[in-house]
Amino acid sequence: MPSTTTTLPAGEAVPVLGQGTWMMGEDRSRAADEVAALRLGLDLGVTLIDTAEMYGNGGAEKVVGEAIAGRRHEVFLVSKVLPSNASRNGVVRACEASLKRMRTDRIDLYLLHWRGGVPLAETIAVFEELRRSGKIRHWGVSNFDADDMEEMERLPAGRNAQVNQVLYNLGRRGIEFDLAPWCREHGMPIMAYSPVEQGALADDAALQAIAARHDATAAQLALAWVMARPGVIAIPKATRLEHVRQNAAARDIRLTPGDLAELDTLFPPPARKRPLEMI
């Protein structure tokens, strides 16, 4: 069967399938359904949860806090700090606020959401302080291109980064030209957000035809493709229980060499460097 975990540079195994929370926490009337979806994911062994202080202006972290109440020990918890809060004092305040919203004493993986005006060395130094204090266990980055990764590696403690979270799916393969090889060479997993292109890939007729051979949906096939990439973690968001179950079941899909070749024809890998895509 396909691997269900990948390994951080620090040596810790983490699931290749997680639960995303982008656009959760924006409407309290939907909170109960969002909490139920995350809890079902935990029941199905999808124990990595990704969130951010930006999502719902902290609302998503509150939803996560409700979902993991009494189950914190089961969860590998990821959150992100905004670049506007990436200064020495700003990171500390942001981290404390995230911990409070999620009702926990630690974040397993804390990411810089994207680069901003604060010097990267300053942000990394605070991440290291938070790690030593136990408020975060690991840190990483998000939306960093290959040149950003190279710059970070040259900084003090820059090699302690554990993950780069970027946009990656069948239709967004630009990172395969240089960023993904860089991360593989350095043993750093990529965390793929929007692995089903916010649901758009679910409607692709060609994907549906391939998925039918596996008794699966096109969305499951697209998700399985991401999880089959070496060192890649997929974090789809699902608020419907049916979709949570389908995402979890995608872990069992085994793509054949023929499937992969067909997918390469339909969604060709990049032949040149492309700017890093973000949504």
Q: What is the mean pLDDT of residues 18-30?
A: 96
Separation of alpha carbons 237 and 220, rounded Å? 13
List, for residues 40-81, the tens digit of each pLDDT value.
999 999 999 999 999 999 999 999 999 999 999 999 999 999
Residue positions in the annotated binding site? 113
220: nearest Cα among 230, 232, 231, 204: 204
List, for residues 92-140, the tens digit of each pLDDT value.
999 999 999 999 999 999 999 999 999 999 999 999 999 999 999 999 9
Give pTM, 2 decimals: 0.96
Distance of CA 207 to the CA centre of its chain: 23
25: which DSSP letter?
Answer: T
Q: What is the mean pLDDT of residues 9-14?
A: 97
List, for residues 175-219, the tens digit of each pLDDT value.
999 999 999 999 999 999 999 999 999 999 999 999 999 999 999
> Domain 15-266: what homologous superfamily?
NADP-dependent oxidoreductase domain (3.20.20.100)
pLDDT at residue 267 in the model: 97
Cα–Cα distance list, 198 to 89, 171, 223, 238, 259 (Å): 34, 11, 11, 10, 22
Q: Which residues are catalytic?
A: 55
pLDDT at residue 2 in the model: 60
Separation of alpha carbons 234 and 227, rounded Å? 6
Residue positions in the annotated binding site for substrate? 113
Quote the crossing angle between the two packed helices 218-228 and 257-266, to the nearest 10°: 100
